[in-house]
Structure 1
Amino acid sequence: MGLLCQRCLELLLDIVNFVKRLSSRIVERIKECMVLVRECCCMKPKSFKVRHLYEPVLPNHEKQAAQEFLNHLEAGLGERQLGKETLDALRILAFSENADLQQSAALYYLHMSQHMTAKLPQEFLEPYQALLQSSDLEVQQMSSLSLVNFLLEGYLNKELVVQVGLLEPVLELLESGDSAVQCNSCACIMMLAVSESNREAIGIAGGIRPLLTLAKSYDPRVQQNAVGAILNLTRSEHIKSILCRQGALPVLILLLQSPDSDIQYYSCASLGNIAANADHHEAMMEIGDKFLLRMLVSLMSSSVQKVSSQACLCLNNLASNAEIRTHIHALDIIHLLLILLNSSSKDVRQASITLLCTMTHPPGNMNAVLCKELLTHLVVLMQRERTNPVVVVHAACTIQNLSQSENIEVIIQSQCFEELLQALLDPNNEEETLQYLASCLSELAKHDITRECLIDKKDKGLIRCLVKLAGLVEHKELSFHAASVIKQLSHYGKISAELKFLIKDVQHYLMCFLSHPELRFQQLSIATLCTLSEDTEFSTVISQSQLKEQLEQLRKQTEDTQALLRLTLSQTESADSTK
């Protein structure tokens, strides 16, 4: 080392003088510290072995639990898999502070979830509390995945999972920084939300906001499960309102543009459920100046059939609003719907006829040309789906919606009218389906051209069918509409002649109508009797039957009612005059 400069020498002299001025006590303390440092193990020769790693000492009960775990893995999932010994071992491992032991428990649950074929007992849910709340990422991943597997296979009661307190730790995992954990926890919420009570619990526990955040994740798996969970939550009216208040609508609408068809489907279905409540329509239309309608119409043409059908169903719920229906018409949707009626997918066909039925609801702006084109496509669907009640019902309602005066001739001359009559005569159709068919025919029968067409057919089977349906008074709407058609046709002598062969059945339903508590049934029965009485044979039969007695009783009741009305009116007038 070279000589020190003058400045450095002066500094060292200052230090020496400073040390000399220190008290003897401090000097002694410095010496003591130096001695301790020299005696430290780090100052020992290099040959001295030092343990650099901490090796935790496992308590005996944890050692036994770990050994039990190994034994079970070696034995496989036999009869002992759900025994008390297994449960005790899992409890110890799960609640251990040792991450390796927790991983062992999580791995065992994962192994069980992939190989079990029986329900998981309630007591086996207890270790999940510790595993889901573990600070070890692998434990979180494995335990959340095993819970997903158990729920997916139906080996866990969904309400029980929430009741034992596992909802909160699952919701906490939604905010994990790991995409696998987020994915699994979203999947858990999606399956738990199948239950109505669980949906309410998820809303109360604050699970909606983190799900909306994850619905915007860059990981498509996380997005899928998050939006799938939101879809199940939208099956609750209360939760739908919370979702809308917390900003779900813009998120779901933007997700309609996702390149992932599953995300498109979940988003579309969620919006459809929300749109089922008309209170949300205004808010849905405000986003992007009816951007939702344009996106849904675009998705109707999707090559993914479930997306196409769901877009139709969402639009159908929105189209229940007459103002929104007008906006949808402006997007030239009818021609697109006519194409979808011939789709290779049954779901798409059903969804498109459902939306078409709603879009033709008056005022549907259907001129004769468009009506004829629509009927041409509709008949193909009716012939293809004769046994499908969804198609038959909505086809009948669509024809009824089109039955304005300017379209009646086009309807009657179309093959759709023939298909309508054949469906009414089909014994395989249920009462609900027949109700809509009879309602449509009743509406059409108000027009002369329809009645003339039915008379010219001389279809005895149709008359017998109508009388039979009119007698089904326990299905009052079906009965009423069938009887209305009979009343419309009874003006014609030829129909009266056919009814003579069924006079007992006609008397039966007319008697039921006269004693019916609803006034419209009584009025229809009386109007039908008036028409039938124009025929001498019918008049004779009526005069000799209980119908005459029932009519007389009804007349007396009417007179008594009129007398009471007159009395009430006169008293009211007297009271007014004394004021």
Structure 2
Amino acid sequence: MGQLCGRCMQLLRDFVAFVQRMSSDLVHGIKECLILISKCSCLKQNSSKTRQLYKPILQPHERVTAQEFLQHIETGFEMSPLGKDPLEALRTLAFSENPGLQQSAALYYLHMSEHMNIPLPVEHLEPFYALLRSADLEVQQMSSLSLVNFLLEGHKSNREAIGAARGVTPLLSLAKSYDPRVQQNAVGAILNLTQSEKIQQVLCKEGALPVLSLLLESPDSEVQYYSCAALSNVAANIQHHKGLLGGGDRFLLRTLISLLSSSVNKVSSQACVCLRNLAVSADIQAEMVAENVLPKLCSLLASGSEDVRRASIALLWILSQHPHNQDTLACAELMQSLGMLLLVHKTDPVIVGHSACIIKNLSLSKNRQRIMESRCVEGLLQTMLSTDTQEDSLGYVTSCLAELAKQEGATLHMVQWMDEHLTKCLVRLAGHLEHTETSFQAASIIQHMIGHEKMMLLCKHHIGEIQAYLENFLTHREIRFQQLGISTFCRLQEDPEFSLAFRKSQMAKLLEQVRQQTEETQELLKAAICHEDS
């Protein structure tokens, strides 16, 4: 091993000093605790014969154990699992009826949870469970916080160990605590446990779902958020939906919908996530729409929080997929909200992609006119001009516009918004054959709009680019590209300038090749049909 440089030596000294400081703080805390215990009247012999309330008595062996445990820490506290004798001392403190001694044990676990990056040893679990069941508020606070730390990301083995039934039961009791800190820690620990599908089974079996559902109505927004996030994790597994949605009154569904109106962004956002995870069937989606969820979601679309906007648009996308909901969703309020959302957040791929999908789903309904009356088309067109728009989002946008362009009224509306920049963008997208769907849909939009004089005039500035992508379409291996290329060629050929350009190009030769291939294909099909008939 080489010689350490001066900087590394100083870092090492700083680390040693830090460990010594932390050890000193722990020892000091335990000393103070033991001093307070020693001064308590419960340790003094009382000669009074009168009946008194029960107070835990410090047994002689507990006094010795506490002293030995303290001595062990004073002689050299290391952040590693305790040896056999100190571990027995820790068990004695944890199972003691004296809250002061339990606090010392809880303090040790808290320190361990904050500074040990190794799995919690199995032999430490039993005394830890005892602390979780303590009636002392400070012990509950420290041990529940320790549990949250032990269950953080990267400590999967701790979740598997603590998530057994013996660990879940005291957690559910602590989740009902009247102390905000204890309740927050307990529900936060349950949230961390729900990251494991295996532990979700244990939680459901031990009755966690009704507890978490009731905690959604807590006045504490942190408890609401942790409970909602835990339920979202469980709801991501469809096998738990029966337990989550059981009961005739749909308590969970109604409570989650009410939380959409929460003034705390992370609560309303998480409520959207949980509802989205639950909305896997048409019946549940219909129930959500019937519970007047739409006005709340429209309000959330205008939120200043990115998470809230994204969560609400994702839920709306799920709801828009079922035909039964489309007439209700295709209201003027939602169309206006989506249009403004696209214009304001045209670089957000989640907003753009989901909005385009929602508009396309709703364009299949009889309320298509409301889309035209809103700013949705303008918003969709403007997103194409953003250089930050991701390819997936562009695909959804062009697909939606191509669907709308099939209707003459919508095509006319789209032409009104077209200008030089948008035309250039559409032609460029149509020429990007490496992005198959975006290319095809962009070309389809152009094909539908060139029947209008304004669009034909705009396209004349891009004769070369249009001719190039049409030639590629005619030689494309997919028949749909060939057909789109031919139909576009036929429309453009009616214009003298395009017709002249096509005569000077290889277009006629390519068309002849397509004709010959088509004839050959037809002959092969005839032969195949005749062979099958015989």
- TM-score normalised over the length of structure 2: 0.73
- 2:409 pairs, out of 449, 472, 483, with 449
- 1:144 pairs, out of 109, 113, 127, with 109
- Distance, in Å, in 1 between the alignment partners of 2:479 and 2:205 is 46
2:231 paired with 1:271: yes
More RCO (CA 8 Å, sep 6+): 2
- Code of the residue aligned with 2:80 in structure 1: it is L
- 1:166 pairs, out of 112, 121, 126, with 121
Within 5 A, what are the aligned runs for 1:328-343?
A: 328-343=288-303
- Distance, in Å, in 2 between the alignment partners of 1:546 and 1:314 is 57
- Code of the residue aligned with 1:306 in structure 2: it is K
Report the secondary structure of 1:474's partner residue.
coil
- 2:463 pairs, out of 496, 503, 506, with 503
CA distance 1:446–1:440, shift in 2 (3 Å): same
Report the equivalent of 1:294.
254
Residues 472-522 of structure 1, C-alpha deviation per residue, up to 9 Å, x if partnerless? Answer: 333333333322212222334543443343234334444555565655445
Report the secondary structure of 1:268's partner residue.
helix
CA contact (8 A) 1:132 1:143 kept: no
Report the equivalent of 1:3.
none
Report the equivalent of 2:80.
125
Residues 187-223 of structure 1, C-alpha deviation per residue, up to 9 Å, x if partnerless? Answer: 4554454547x44763366536623541332434343
- Code of the residue aligned with 2:422 in structure 1: it is L
2:69 paired with 1:102: yes
- Distance, in Å, in 2 between the alignment partners of 1:538 and 1:171 is 84
Report the alpha carbon displacement of residue 100 of structure 1 after superposing the two structures with TM: 3.0
- Distance, in Å, in 2 between the alignment partners of 1:246 and 1:189 is 18
- Distance, in Å, in 2 between the alignment partners of 1:471 and 1:226 is 57
- Code of the residue aligned with 1:223 in structure 2: it is Q
- Distance, in Å, in 1 between the alignment partners of 2:512 and 2:87 is 79
- Distance, in Å, in 2 between the alignment partners of 1:516 and 1:128 is 73
Within 5 A, what are the aligned runs for 1:503-542?
A: 503-513=463-473, 520-535=480-495, 537-538=497-498, 541-542=501-502
CA contact (8 A) 2:294 2:329 kept: no
Residues 357-391 of structure 1, C-alpha deviation per residue, up to 9 Å, x if partnerless? Answer: 33333425455997123334444544554444433
2:211 paired with 1:251: yes
Report the secondary structure of 2:367's partner residue.
helix
- Distance, in Å, in 2 between the alignment partners of 1:545 and 1:411 is 41
2:436 paired with 1:471: no
Residues 389-441 of structure 1, C-alpha deviation per residue, up to 9 Å, x if partnerless? Answer: 43333333333333245333332232333233222223333333333322322
- Distance, in Å, in 2 between the alignment partners of 1:436 and 1:324 is 26
2:159 paired with 1:202: yes
CA distance 1:480–1:319, shift in 2 (3 Å): farther
Report the equivalent of 1:283.
243
- Distance, in Å, in 2 between the alignment partners of 1:364 and 1:409 is 18
Report the alpha carbon displacement of residue 451 of structure 1 after superposing the two structures with TM: 1.1
In the alignment, structure 1 segments of 5+ residues that lack a partner are 1-75, 91-96, 111-122, 575-579
2:323 paired with 1:350: no
CA distance 1:222–1:543, shift in 2 (3 Å): farther
- Distance, in Å, in 1 between the alignment partners of 2:261 and 2:516 is 64
- Code of the residue aligned with 2:70 in structure 1: it is Q
- Distance, in Å, in 2 between the alignment partners of 1:292 and 1:201 is 30
- Code of the residue aligned with 1:253 in structure 2: it is S
- Distance, in Å, in 1 between the alignment partners of 2:525 and 2:140 is 72
Moved more, 316-325 or 516-525: 516-525
Report the secondary structure of 1:337's partner residue.
helix
- Distance, in Å, in 2 between the alignment partners of 1:518 and 1:209 is 61
- Distance, in Å, in 1 between the alignment partners of 2:506 and 2:198 is 55
Within 5 A, what are the aligned runs for 1:481-500?
A: 481-500=441-460
Report the alpha carbon displacement of residue 268 of structure 1 after superposing the two structures with TM: 0.9
Report the secondary structure of 1:502's partner residue.
helix
CA contact (8 A) 2:150 2:158 kept: no
Report the alpha carbon displacement of residue 81 of structure 1 after superposing the two structures with TM: 6.0
- Distance, in Å, in 1 between the alignment partners of 2:413 and 2:159 is 60
- Distance, in Å, in 1 between the alignment partners of 2:305 and 2:456 is 46
- Code of the residue aligned with 1:230 in structure 2: it is I
In the alignment, structure 2 segments of 5+ residues that lack a partner are 1-12, 28-63, 94-101
Report the equivalent of 1:460.
420
- Distance, in Å, in 1 between the alignment partners of 2:165 and 2:431 is 53
CA contact (8 A) 2:113 2:146 kept: yes
Report the alpha carbon displacement of residue 142 of structure 1 after superposing the two structures with TM: 2.2
- TM-score normalised over the length of structure 1: 0.68
- 1:228 pairs, out of 175, 188, 195, with 188
CA contact (8 A) 1:337 1:352 kept: yes
Report the secondary structure of 1:427's partner residue.
coil
CA distance 1:98–1:463, shift in 2 (3 Å): same
CA distance 1:78–1:280, shift in 2 (3 Å): closer
Moved more, 216-225 or 516-525: 516-525
- Distance, in Å, in 1 between the alignment partners of 2:403 and 2:446 is 12
Within 5 A, what are the aligned runs for 1:356-375?
A: 356-363=316-323, 365=325, 371-375=331-335
Moved more, 264-273 or 204-213: 204-213
Greater Rg over alpha carbons, structure: 1
Report the equivalent of 2:287.
327
CA distance 1:150–1:291, shift in 2 (3 Å): same
CA distance 1:244–1:456, shift in 2 (3 Å): same
CA distance 1:445–1:243, shift in 2 (3 Å): farther
- Code of the residue aligned with 1:358 in structure 2: it is I
2:171 paired with 1:214: yes
Within 5 A, what are the aligned runs for 1:546-561?
A: none
- Distance, in Å, in 1 between the alignment partners of 2:122 and 2:503 is 74
Report the alpha carbon displacement of residue 288 of structure 1 after superposing the two structures with TM: 5.3
